[in-house]
Amino acid sequence: MKVRLKVWRQSNPGTPGAFEEHETPDINPNMSFLEMLDVVNEDLASKGQEPIAFDHDCREGICGTCSLVIDGKPHGPHQGVATCQTYMRSFSDGDMITVEPFRAAPFPIIRDLVVDRKAFDRIMQAGGFISVRTGNAPDANAIPVPKIAADLAMDAAQCIGCGACVAACKNASAMLFVSAKVSHLGLLPQGQPERQRRVLAMVEAMDKEGFGACTVTGSCEAVCPKEISLDFISRMNRDYGRSLLQGEPGRKAGASDEA
Amino acid sequence: MKFITRLWGSSLGKKYLMALSGIALWFFVIGHLLGNLQVFLGPDKINTYAAFLKSQPGLLWGARLGLLAMVALHVSSAISLTNLNRNARPQPYGHPRAPFGSSYASRTMMMSGLIVAAFIIYHLLHYTVQTPAVNLTGVDFSEYQEAVGTTTRHDVYRMIIIGFRHPLVSLFYIVAVGLLSLHLSHGLSSMFQSLGITRWSKTGRDCLARTAGLITFVGYASIPVAVLLGLGKEVVK
Ligand code: HEM
Ligand code: FES
């Protein structure tokens, strides 16, 4: 089969980009979307043209590196599937497919379809961690974890941090991502010591990056390759509200915030 | 201090303010509806009710100022968050995008809200301030008085009937309460999430919000519709 691509090309963050059309060489319908791009790039290279830059790593749906907005939908036509797990058999011979980068002010374009998602890393650095003792590995079952909390934490931990939620949201909001991380750690006993500090710090970092706010449209949940639930945003809001009222534990009332 | 800066300075804090002011406004919307529906019980009931409200200036002005504060809070956080949201995606997508499971109401909250705000201003001029210029009938509603014993009181019943007999005025009213219901059909559900209440599922909340929105619409729209169909036509001789 062959398809036609209308793909975003931009040589660097500073110069304006534009769509460019390419016809693919003959491709196997069982190729993944990324393999199709590989074939297109080889073809471009053989003609002495610049290949299309796109992000990818594991190609098995677990790392969150692949991105792309395919025909208007982050990660392509399917539900609960990342771009790297999307196959060309989902398209028809001769289709025109529009391929764009994730668009959000905090995700500046580096080149073509590659965007800089370090904003997510900075949010994680602000609070997406727990403190552990170094030394021997503790016994795996030493800390009892209620089954319900373990299951919910696992659901939240599914998040691979790809940024599709931001790309799909009409407000380019990162709340689904941040709430998954806040909930994943906040649900487990190991995450309790920093629970309040974490949610305050991560929300502050999220706002600082310039992501939008949630208007509960549900688009993020609908495109998430890991089907993270919107309920985690409620959970984050509750944690945030409680932390706002309680302040950070261990800090004297009225103590300077810079201390 | 950090409490205030975090409340107003963060996206989540502003959503709290929006949700709290939204629910306060919704309580008013329901109370106001129950008051208005007394128009179906005849002139005496609604005029007595109106006279009672007027006789309690402390309560009346307390409620008015409270509502004004709620509207100011709701609208200012709405504008501030909308700006944040717009700036978060300076460059739009080239390909038209599907709504990905989002409802029409959820995508048009600012628009429905702004039209409702415009309506509220008109509505206040129409029936509260009673500016003759906006009622399109050429009469001054404040001149409608009803004699009770030795005194007179404002004939609110007559004002409502004459006011809504103008089809354009009624149409604007019906469209506005329709948009308010659309706003509520998403807003009331979204509010639970903003306040971090996870007690009910999203489907349950959506269902609740849509039902509440529908009841609001049917309740408010019933008055101009009834008037257009002839309710109280005896007041025009
Ligand atoms: C009687 C009048 C109104 C009522 C009862 C009302 C009610 C509500 C409620 C309950 C919410 C949900 C809060 C949340 O998302 O947490 C809401 C949200 C909202 N309202 Fe209103 N509102 C009214 C007027 C307005 C006006 C005048 C505006 C326009 C400036 C407005 C703009 C918004 C916006 C932008 C949202 C956010 C939507 C979202 O985040 O999903 N509202 N409103
Ligand atoms: S490349 Fe790793 S998730 Fe797609």
How many CB atoms within 10 Å of residue B151?
9
Token pair for A249: 């534990």
Residue B228 lies in a domain: yes
Q: For residues A211-238, give the mean pLDDT.
A: 96
Under 8 Å CB-to-CB from B71, ≥6 apart: which residues?
B21, B25, B117, B120
pLDDT bucket at B1, cuts 50 / 70 / 90 = low
Contact B193 A216 (CB under 8 A): yes
**For range A228-256, the mean pLDDT:** 82
For chain A, the average pLDDT equals 94
| Whole-angstrom distance, CA of residue B162 vs CA of residue B130 | 13
Q: What is the pLDDT of residue B97?
A: 84
Q: Structural domain of residue B50, as residue ranges?
A: 8-87+109-235
Q: Which runs of E-coded beta strand occur in A16-167? A: 18-23, 69-70, 73-74, 96-100, 109-111, 114-115
Q: Do B94 and A241 touch (CB under 8 A)?
A: no
Cβ(B77) – ligand 1 distance below 6 Å: no
Put simply, the answer to whether B11 touches A8 (Cβ < 8 Å) is no
* Residue B59 touches partner A, C-beta closer than 8 Å: no
Greatest Cα-to-Cα distance within chain A, rounded to the nearest angstrom: 69
Which position has the higher pLDDT, A135 or B47? Answer: B47
> Is residue B219 in a domain?
yes
With respect to residue B101, please indicate whether it lies within any of the assigned structural domains: no
Ligand closest in space to the Cα of B191: 1
> Of A33-37, A132-136, B162-166, B182-186, which gets the smallest average pLDDT?
A132-136
Domain presence at residue B227 = yes
Domain harbouring B168, CATH code: 1.20.1300
> Is the residue at B96 inside a domain?
no
| Residue ranges lining ligand 2, Cβ < 6 Å | A 56-59, 61-66, 82-84
Contact of A222 with chain B, judged by CB distance below 8 Å, is answered with yes
The ligand 2 atom at the shortest distance from the C-alpha of residue A59 is 1
pTM: 0.92
Quick check: is B92 in a domain?
no
Kindly report, residue by residue over B127-153, the tens digit of the pLDDT: 999 999 999 998 999 999 999 888 999
Q: Is residue B98 part of a domain?
A: no
Residue B160 has pLDDT above 50, yes or no: yes
pLDDT digits (tens, 9 = 90+) for B25-54: 999 999 999 999 999 999 999 999 999 999
- Which domains, ranges and CATH numbers included, belong to chain A? 4-111 (3.10.20.30), 118-246 (1.10.1060.10)
Question: Chain B closest CA to A142's CA: distance in Å?
Answer: 30
Q: Identify which of A149, A167, A183, A193 has the alpha carbon closest to the alpha carbon of residue A107.
A: A167
Q: What is the pLDDT of residue A142?
A: 86
Confirm whether B14 is domain-assigned. Answer: yes
Amino acid identity of B93?
Answer: Y
- What is the domain count for chain B? 1
Distance between CA atoms of residues A86 and A33, nearest Å: 6
B114 pocket-lining for ligand 1 (C-beta < 6 Å): yes
CA of B38 to the centre of ligand 1 (A): 27
CB of A176 closer than 8 Å to CB of A228? yes
Q: Residues 8 to 47 of A: which have CB under 8 A from any B CB? A: 8, 19
For B108-125, how does the pLDDT look when each residue is reduced to its tens digit (9 = 90+)? 999 999 999 999 999 999
pLDDT of residue A140 exceeding 90: no
Residues 107-166 of chain A with CB under 8 A from chain B are none
